[in-house]
Amino acid sequence: MAWYAYCITERQAFPELLRHRKPIPMEAVTGIQGNQIFLYPASDLAVIVSECSAAEKMSDRAGMEHARVISDCFKTSTVLPFRFGTVFADDEALRRSIRSNQRQFLTNIERLRGKAEMHLKVVLDDCCRDQIKRYTPPAPPPTVGKAYLSNLRENAALQRERQTKARAVTVQMHRMFAPLAEEVTCRRMDPGKMLLDIAHLIDSASVERYQNKYSSASLLMKDCQMQLSGPWPPYHFVHRLTHHNASPATAVHGVGRAANLAASA
């Protein structure tokens, strides 16, 4: 029987597990498609898993159910989330992965203990959208002319201007919220908007203070539309690992990548 993995946590967070060497049911939490959740002991760690089959199909709600299990565990312990779709072929594959990466797992847990992730979505005007559209050059002719090269330079300059605006807003947000760490991505939206996706790592005890800062920032940043969610498990701040011994998630109908921890990318 294969194991579907949700997250890793500390064994000591579950006193009932200290007396067991084999997986035991975890009460009050159900997994994907209502499957029983198990606490799987592995040295000083515990892996939150449910049984699964290679023939088992994932429902449309599976991703939300995966996140719900992780959030439920996060309420009582430090967690390292696995990517959605992580499957270990058998007990040996699961144990081997934990043994190979135990030091990294423990280091991550120690670093993230007492921490939470807050997620900001910031929508702002794309200052260069119309200009970039105007200057986007056609396919180059056999002989590249001065006009074509000039358009290329103009387009590059506008792209830099867009990046500068996004960077300025990101720096302003960092100063306002003063997170312990952050991960930022930027992408264009239609029509004429840019979206900044900002993940902030903070102390769990500082959530209310962070929410108050958000209220103040919403009033100050009148040119932006802001949306806050959290606190969440620290999805974006789990360091990537170098050893991945789980089977590719394609064993469960291609719903994910090879098994590894949710990382900041």
Reported as a single tens digit per residue, the pLDDT across 169-199 is 888 888 999 999 999 888 777 667 788 889 9
User: Which token pair is 14?
Assistant: 């579950």
SS (H, E, C) 144-171: CCHHHHHHHHHHHHHHHHHHHHHHHHHH
**Could you read off the pLDDT of 10-53 as tens digits, one per residue?**
998 888 877 788 889 888 888 998 899 999 998 889 999 999 87
pLDDT at residue 128 in the model: 45
pLDDT band at 256 (very low <50, low <70, confident <90, very high): very low
pLDDT at residue 224 in the model: 80
Residue 247 has pLDDT above 60, yes or no: no
Tell me the pLDDT of the chain averaged across its residues.
79
Burial of 24 (0-12, 13-18, 19+ CB in 10 A): middle
Beta bridge partners of 227: 121
pLDDT band at 155 (very low <50, low <70, confident <90, very high): low
Residue of higher predicted confidence among 99 and 249: 99
- 207 CB neighbour count, 10 Å cutoff: 14
Residue 126 has pLDDT above 80, yes or no: no
pLDDT band at 151 (very low <50, low <70, confident <90, very high): low
Are 156 and 164 in contact by the 8 Å Cβ rule? The answer is no
pLDDT at residue 148 in the model: 65
User: Which token pair is 19?
Assistant: 């007396």
Which DSSP state fits 127? T
* Pick from 240, 206, 230: nearest CA to 108: 240
User: Which token pair is 182?
Assistant: 């952050």
* Pick from 102, 67, 93: nearest CA to 2: 93
Residue of higher predicted confidence among 213 and 127: 213
pLDDT at residue 150 in the model: 65
pLDDT at residue 249 in the model: 40
**Could you read off the pLDDT of 206-236 as tens digits, one per residue?**
999 999 999 999 888 877 889 999 999 999 9
**Segments in the chain forming alpha helices (H):** 62-74, 91-112, 129-135, 146-177, 207-220
pLDDT band at 61 (very low <50, low <70, confident <90, very high): confident
